Each structure stands twice: as structure tokens, then as C-alpha cells.
């Protein structure tokens, strides 16, 4: 019983620590090495003040804050931002009843945020990696459109979904059955048909003789129209250079906001991608082809694309449970030619700009998602000293820590309970 009480106590500490919001009206972090990820660059022995979830001052002439934290020279960065994963939608990948990221009938209107679990055990675990917010992507179903992204912070609070129905996810490229040509053709046709319908609707509105109220577009049509108006971006999974070029033509024809995901062949047409101002969301660890579409995967692709002027956002491919390793991926990109400043931008401001988030930098007016590190955030041994999400401090204690304590603590319980 002693051991069970200890384990329950650990979980209670976890629950409380995950929501240790500061009750002070304002907080100042002083004597910090601040990586602003703005034109200001790195500020030594700097002070950052935030209040009500926003940064309100950097190096103020007069310090007026109810809580002052001496960073003692430690590195302060914006919170890292994850993207294009299923955090909060998948608890255990091998357990079907804990997966809510996809549905066979899902289409362009699919809003997976309705199933987001802010109390997922993966969320505090991801906070260990300095992740403060995340762009969640549905996996969709049989349709080429997989649904729409949403943004959630990693506070673990029930109101942690910041925005929904953000961008449209489409999966293009190689097909195990059928031809990629049909997907590209269908995308082209849907956009062309939508343009025609919008023109018809405008003509009816402008025609004084027609007094009938315009018919409201279907939900699918409303999403397509939002793509055409620029209110939503088209986030496209594609690797082969020919597919990327086809999408660039569609972007130009319809004036779309476009984001590439994967884009293994992007290095072949980096100049065209940079000229079109299309960001690329990619992983830094792909070194071998996973298919005939990704023959140009390489560890130095992030560095090559950045040098060509492409905005690169680093993400974790595959299992959502490895999101906390994002900073390690950035470290590997540094080892393969990406500068440390560019690597930090690739997991902060570049993600924010690609997905239109109010975070990713340390600047007055920006969301106070901040991480104080024990040392260089891209070094393996570095840990999160403190972190703030929306200006509130949160712990990195996770279920894994509670289990570690359980199995390393002496107990009168039978050996199977503790070893």
C-alpha cells in the first residue's frame, strides 16, 4: 500500500505541476541570453517582461514586475513549435480506439480538433523538448483532401486549442492504386469550377433584374473558396520534383497560399520554390529514399534549401510520440550545414509564418511562449529549466517520470510491482 500511495502521490504532483500558473500580474526574466529570432538577434544579459500572455517589454528602462526571475545567463528562446503531426489525436498508435486522426469518409471539411485530447499523456512528455505549441494535421481518409489543420498549445488545459479550420491538407504524389495524375487533375478541376461558380454568383449579385437571394455554397465549396481568397493555405504532401512544379503552377494560376510538406526533391528546384515564396516543412533526418519519389533525400537538404532562400520548417515525421525530439533533429541539421540561428528559426518563426501563428519570436506584442534552457537547446544533455505557455509557467514532469519513480523506489510490494 505504501508503494501505491507513492505512485498516486507522484501522479497528483504531475497533475498540479502541469498547471502551475503564475498568479503574478507580470513576470520579468532578467540576466538572460535572449535569442529573439528577430532582427534584434541575440541579446546578452537581457530582460524580458510579459503579462497577460503577451511580451510587453524587452530591456525596459525601468523594471516594474511583480515576479522577477534571474536567468543567470541561461539561454531564453521562443517556445519550439511542432507541426504536421497528430498530437492529441493519437494516444497509442497500436490501439485503434485511441486513434482519432483519420476516418475513411473524411474529406476537405474534416475537423479533427473536435477529438483533440488536451490531457493526452504525450503532451507533457513533448513539453520536455521545449515544445509549447503545435500545428495538428488530420490524416483524413480515402479522399485526396485530408481535412484541415488546427493549432493547440501544450498547456494541457481544456481550452488549449487556439484556432481551428486553419489550412487545407492534401496528399499528392505516388499512389499504390491509380495514378497521381488524377489527383492533380481533380485539384485543378475543383479550383476551376469554384472560380466559375464565384463568377456566376457575382454576376447574379450585380444583375439588378435578379432579386433572388444567392444560394449559400456547400461546406466543401466554402473551403475551396477560402483557398481561392487566401484565407486558407493549401498544405500539400508531395516529394517528386514534377509534382512540386505542378503545384507551383497551380499556385500561380489561382494565387494560392501554398506550403510543401516532405518535398524530398525540393533541392532540385530550390530556386523556383524560393522565388514563389513557398515554405517547406521537412524532417532533418531523412537520408535514404523511402520511395521512387524521394531519391534525393539527404541530411544536408535543410541547409541547401535555406542557402537557396527557401524558408524551412523542421518537423518530426512518423510517430507523434517523438515530437519532443524536434530539437535533436535541429541539432542534426546543424551538424549537416545549417547554421544554429537558421535551425532555431526552423523550429520557431518559420513554422509560425508558414501557418500564420502569433508566436515563434520574442518581441513586444507576441504570445509569451518562452523556454529557458540549462544550456544550448540543441545539445543532447541540455534540459528545459523553465517554460511558459501563454505567459503561465508549466512543468515538464510527465507520466514517464512518475513511472520511473515507481520502478526505482524501494517498496514492500512484490518485486513485479517495482522491477
Per-residue pLDDT of the chain (419 residues; tens, 9 = 90+): 444 444 444 444 444 444 444 444 899 999 999 999 999 999 999 999 999 999 999 999 999 999 999 999 999 999 999 999 999 999 999 999 999 999 999 999 999 999 999 999 999 999 999 999 999 999 999 999 999 999 999 999 999 999 999 999 999 988 888 999 999 999 999 999 999 999 988 887 766 555 566 678 999 999 999 999 999 999 999 999 999 999 999 999 999 999 999 999 999 999 999 999 999 999 999 999 989 999 999 999 999 999 999 999 999 976 688 999 999 999 999 999 999 999 999 999 999 999 999 999 999 999 999 999 999 999 999 999 999 999 999 999 998 888 888 888 887 877 666 55
Torsion angle in degrees (nearest 10) through CA of 221, 226, 228, 232: -130
Looking at domain 19-77, its CATH superfamily turns out to be Urease, subunit C, domain 1 (2.30.40.10)
In 280-395, the DSSP E strands lie at 280-282, 312-314, 370-373, 384-389, 392-394
Q: Which pTM does this prediction carry?
A: 0.91
What does the alpha-carbon distance between residue 100 and residue 120 come to, in Å, rounded to a whole number?
12
Question: Which candidate, 232, 80, 213, 50, places its Cα nearest to that of 153?
Answer: 80
Architecture category of domain 81-358 in CATH:
Alpha-Beta Barrel (3.20)
Q: What span, in angstroms and rounded, lies between the C-alpha atoms of 393 and 389?
A: 6
Q: How far is CA 208 from the centre of its chain?
A: 48
CA 303 to chain CA centroid, nearest Å: 20
DSSP conformational letter for 66:
S
Instruction: Provide the residue ranges of all domains of the chain, joining segments of one domain with +.
Output: 19-77, 81-358
Burial of 369: CB neighbours in 10 Å, binned 0-12, 13-18, 19+: buried
Reading phi first (left if > 0) and then psi (alpha if -120 to 50, else beta), residue 73 is in left
Give all strands (DSSP E) within 23-148, no chain letters: 26-35, 42-51, 54-58, 67-70, 75-78, 80-85, 131-136, 145-148
CA distance 368 to 359: 8
CB–CB of 45/87 below 8 Å?
no
Amino acid at each position: 500500500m505504501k508503494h501505491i500511495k507513492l505512485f498516486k502521490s507522484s501522479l497528483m504532483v504531475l497533475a498540479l505541476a502541469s498547471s502551475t500558473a503564475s498568479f503574478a500580474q507580470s513576470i520579468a526574466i532578467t540576466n538572460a541570453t535572449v535569442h529573439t529570432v528577430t532582427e534584434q538577434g541575440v541579446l546578452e544579459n537581457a530582460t524580458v517582461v510579459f503579462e497577460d500572455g503577451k511580451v510587453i517589454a524587452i530591456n525596459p528602462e525601468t523594471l516594474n514586475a511583480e515576479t522577477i526571475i534571474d536567468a543567470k545567463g541561461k539561454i531564453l528562446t521562443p517556445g519550439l513549435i511542432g507541426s504536421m503531426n497528430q498530437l492529441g489525436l493519437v494516444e497509442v498508435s497500436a490501439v485503434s480506439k485511441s486513434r482519432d486522426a483519420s476516418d475513411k469518409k473524411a474529406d476537405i471539411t474534416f475537423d479533427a480538433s473536435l477529438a483533440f485530447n488536451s490531457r493526452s499523456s504525450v503532451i507533457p512528455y513533448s513539453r520536455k523538448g521545449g515544445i509549447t505549441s503545435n500545428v495538428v494535421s488530420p490524416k483524413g481518409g480515402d479522399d485526396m483532401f485530408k481535412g484541415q489543420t488546427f493549432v493547440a498549445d501544450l498547456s494541457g488545459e481544456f481550452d488549449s486549442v487556439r484556432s481551428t479550420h486553419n489550412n487545407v491538407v492534401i496528399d499528392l504524389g505516388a499512389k499504390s492504386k491509380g495514378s497521381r495524375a488524377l489527383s492533380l487533375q481533380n485539384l485543378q478541376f475543383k479550383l476551376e469550377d469554384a472560380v466559375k461558380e464565384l463568377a456566376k454568383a457575382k454576376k447574379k449579385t450585380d444583375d439588378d433584374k435578379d432579386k433572388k437571394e444567392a444560394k449559400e455554397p456547400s461546406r466543401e465549396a466554402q473551403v475551396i473558396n477560402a483557398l481561392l481568397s487566401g484565407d486558407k493555405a493549401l498544405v500539400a504532401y508531395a516529394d517528386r520534383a514534377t509534382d512540386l512544379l505542378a503545384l507551383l503552377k497551380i499556385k500561380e494560376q489561382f494565387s494560392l497560399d501554398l506550403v510543401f510538406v516532405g518535398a524530398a526533391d525540393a533541392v532540385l528546384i530550390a530556386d523556383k520554390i524560393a522565388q514563389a515564396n513557398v515554405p517547406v516543412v521537412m524532417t532533418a533526418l531523412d537520408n535514404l529514399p523511402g520511395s521512387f519519389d524521394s531519391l534525393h533525400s539527404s541530411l544536408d537538404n535543410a541547409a541547401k534549401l535555406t542557402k537557396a532562400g527557401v524558408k524551412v520548417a523542421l518537423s518530426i515525421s512518423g510517430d507523434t510520440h517523438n515530437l519532443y525530439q524536434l530539437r535533436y533533429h535541429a541539432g542534426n541539421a546543424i551538424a549537416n550545414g545549417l547554421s544554429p540561428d537558421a535551425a532555431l528559426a526552423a523550429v520557431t518563426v518559420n513554422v509560425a509564418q508558414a501557418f500564420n501563428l502569433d508566436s515563434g519570436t520574442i518581441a513586444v506584442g507576441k504570445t509569451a511562449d518562452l523556454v529557458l534552457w540549462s544550456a544550448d537547446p540543441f545539445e543532447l544533455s541540455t534540459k528545459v529549466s523553465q517554460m511558459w505557455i501563454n505567459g503561465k509557467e508549466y512543468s515538464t514532469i510527465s507520466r514517464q517520470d512518475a513511472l520511473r519513480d515507481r520502478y526505482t523506489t524501494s517498496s514492500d510490494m512484490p518485486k513485479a510491482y517495482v522491477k
